[in-house]
Structure 1
Amino acid sequence: MGTLKPLIIGELVAKHPVIQGGMGVGISLSSLAGAVAKAGGIGIISTAQIGFREPDFKENPLEANLRAIGQEMKKAREIAPEGIIGFNIMVATKSYASYVKKAVKAGADLIISGAGLPVSLPEYVAEAAEEAGVALKTKIAPIVSTVKSAMVICKMWDRKYHQAPDLVVVEGPLAGGHLGFSREDLVNLGVDTDDVDSTYKQAEYEEEVKGIIRLVKEYGDKYNKVIPVVTAGGIYSHEDVMHQLSLGADGVQVATRFVTTDECDAPEAFKQAYLHAKKEDIVITKSPVGMPGRAIKNPFLKTVGDTPFRLEHCYQCLDKCDRKTIPYCITKALVNSAEGRTEDGLVFCGSKAHLAARMETVEEVMKDLVGEN
């Protein structure tokens, strides 16, 4: 098998064109990100409630999370001193700017940002570098799902900051966790939660991906730079990787496949939920923040909404969360799973989580994805 081309983002060169997707609340932290970076990919730490293990998390979630960003980055660097390590930061996060600035000051090589349009990301990154008195080296990448969203970001960054993205991540409807599509969008793409594989209008969406690639190239040409485009969602095997590259993508972002690795930060119970999941167990559910999300059906999802919910404590996680109408607290649900109480929590996953048959190492997964097995 031939060796795939490296993924080049400015002066950052990853041996393999594989970015490990950010998985929030304790699933992709320093252990997984460091292992992926060491294996030649790009390791990503999720900042979503990253400090949930800190003793003051309940009382001071923002301070705990910001502190944990530095701690996790330090540990990941110890695993992969020469590797490429970044953060996934959701735009929907309360105090978003604080998270971005802390990640830059912690030495992030890359910030990938979605769950909303990161319109002010260049400004926050530049301010952080100036405050720290260091040269601006952190690369920035928006997550988009449509040509329209890619156009909005590129136009706005061009007009307001006179710059273009360093990388663009295109997240499709087969991704895990929160999706960048409304329920109506998913219906239009034929995504049926009971039969995703045969109902998803793949060819239709792939034309959208090609449109995003063409748009990004226009902005790359304008700024005399190569802006790689990486696709995400439903990528599990080497064949999946090769298909994405055949569409014109420069690389892939993979999350679900890395959950069932020894190095993944998730607890054993979380990994076992993937190993035991059947195709019909993977469903699209409504998140408390109003976005569709893909998760494994479990006792929590089956019973949520059966009894009136009363919020006992707010963890200040998301900007657009209506405490009076949410069916459950998403932080509490995700922390439960991250602490091993998966039957009482939300287990986010990608559309192909049911393919997980055994535990692997990150090195084994990487070799399989790039065709070196």
Structure 2
Amino acid sequence: MLEIKPLQIGELVAKVPVIQGGMGVGISLSNLAGNVAAEGGIGIISTAQIGFRSKEFNKNPMAENLKAIAEEIKKAREIAKGGIIGVNIMVATKDYEEYVKAAVKAGVDLIISGAGLPTILPKLIESSKTKIAPIVSSLKAADIICKLWDRRYKKSPDLVVIEGAKAGGHLGFSLEEIESFNQDEYDMEIEKIIKLVDEYGKKYEKQIPVVVAGGVYTREDLEHYINLGASGVQIASRFVGTYECDADIKYKEAYIKAAKEDVVIVKSPVGMPGRAIHNAFLERLKQGPIKVEGCKNCLSHCDPATIPYCITQALINAAKGDIDNGLIFCGENVYRVDKMVHVKDIMDEFK
């Protein structure tokens, strides 16, 4: 068995090289993130419409989201026993800068940012201890962001997350790329990205760890990517089937009941492909658009007048347990989640 080393991001050290992926809306909040951190991994809170539980959310979603970022980070810290707490903030988020600033103000350890290239992220965390990590899906994307940060801010990533086509939620691939995905070819892409990141690490005289996400489920997957040169992995879907996950029990049961053939690729209202569990909501969409009732101002490139449904409302419905009227994002391996377990049970496998 391969020796598993801690994941080190500057002065931050995770005893277990596992990052729990950010899952929104409302799937990975303080309870899940805090418990993963307490077990030696890195717990990630999703900031996507994070204030949805507030009674004032519909009146002022932006204000409630910013307030909830601080509250959830604080609650996660209380659970984490000194462990590492991060947030996932989508670049596509409307008022992205305000979300980043709120997380930094709350003292978050790490910001992971994808759904677009986080071109201005270094500027937003200046004079703070917060570490930053872009999510990339290709060598081209990694090259662009590293060059840009180097040229514009004299800064390199503190961590890089490589997310493959087997991941859940929004994907950084075209439908054709997802359908023709080849793991061996992607492994070669991963090695190229790691080599590129290492070059920037040498330039900035620091170690920049790379973690791989998308389709990661077992310790064998971790060892596979470590052998390619990665420092760890990011796992999301598997953590939904835990008692500590923040989602409603009906959401968790949807994962446990899902078969391999239930996993489908859907088109998000913002045009990106995403992976989800087929359900009554997706069947209803085949009949035509679902009227948007009240825009939550969640995504920059979204026109309520033309979209087929409101993704915020669909994700909130699912998180609250209204499965038949909700969008259930998932990773390719969701069918392997067959029972409820504790976070500790999963983390022990990777120690």
TM-score of the superposed pair, with normalisation by structure 1: 0.92
1:165 and 2:157 correspond: yes
Once the 2 structures are TM-superposed, how far is the Cα of residue 182 of structure 1 from its aligned partner?
A: 1.9
Q: Aligned partners of 2:163, 2:207: CA distance in 1, in Å?
A: 20
For 2:146, the aligned partner's letter is C
Which has the higher mean CA deviation after the structures are superposed, 60-69 or 238-247? 238-247
1:234 and 2:218 correspond: no
SS of structure 2 residue aligned to 1:293: strand
Q: Aligned partners of 1:101, 1:301: CA distance in 2, in Å?
A: 36
Query: Which residue does the alignment assign to 1:152?
Result: 144
For 2:13, the aligned partner's letter is V
Q: How many residues align?
A: 351
Q: Aligned partners of 1:179, 1:111: CA distance in 2, in Å?
A: 19
Does the Cα contact within 8 Å between 1:305 and 1:327 map onto a contact in 2? no
Once the 2 structures are TM-superposed, how far is the Cα of residue 183 of structure 1 from its aligned partner?
A: 1.9
2:133 maps to which of 141, 156, 165? 141
Query: Which residue does the alignment assign to 2:239?
Result: 258
User: Identity of aligned pairs, percent?
Assistant: 61
Query: Which residue does the alignment assign to 2:9?
Result: 9
Instruction: Structure 2 unaligned segments of length 5 or more: list them.
Output: none
Once the 2 structures are TM-superposed, how far is the Cα of residue 242 of structure 1 from its aligned partner?
A: 1.1
Query: Which residue does the alignment assign to 2:19?
Result: 19
SS of structure 2 residue aligned to 1:270: helix
SS of structure 2 residue aligned to 1:40: coil
User: 1:67-98: CA deviations, max 9, x gaps?
Assistant: 00011011001101311001000000000000
Query: Which residue does the alignment assign to 1:269?
Result: 250
User: 1:24-68: CA deviations, max 9, x gaps?
Assistant: 111000000000000000000000000000111111000000000
1:348 and 2:329 correspond: yes
Instruction: Structure 1 unaligned segments of length 5 or more: list them.
Output: 130-135, 191-199
Once the 2 structures are TM-superposed, how far is the Cα of residue 171 of structure 1 from its aligned partner?
A: 0.1
Once the 2 structures are TM-superposed, how far is the Cα of residue 239 of structure 1 from its aligned partner?
A: 1.2
Does the Cα contact within 8 Å between 2:289 and 2:309 map onto a contact in 1? no
Q: Aligned partners of 2:256, 2:178: CA distance in 1, in Å?
A: 26
SS of structure 1 residue aligned to 2:201: helix
Once the 2 structures are TM-superposed, how far is the Cα of residue 2 of structure 1 from its aligned partner?
A: 5.5
TM-score of the superposed pair, with normalisation by structure 2: 0.98
Distance 1:290 1:140, change over 3 A: same
Query: Which residue does the alignment assign to 1:39?
Result: 39
Query: Which residue does the alignment assign to 1:247?
Result: 228
Q: Aligned partners of 1:340, 1:318: CA distance in 2, in Å?
A: 23
Structure 1 stretches (4+) deviating beyond 4 angstroms? none
Q: Aligned partners of 2:302, 2:177: CA distance in 1, in Å?
A: 22
CA RMSD of aligned residues (A): 1.0
2:272 maps to which of 291, 298, 303? 291
Does the Cα contact within 8 Å between 1:178 and 1:292 map onto a contact in 2? yes
Q: Aligned partners of 2:132, 2:268: CA distance in 1, in Å?
A: 27
Query: Which residue does the alignment assign to 1:184?
Result: 176
SS of structure 1 residue aligned to 2:177: helix
Query: Which residue does the alignment assign to 1:81?
Result: 81
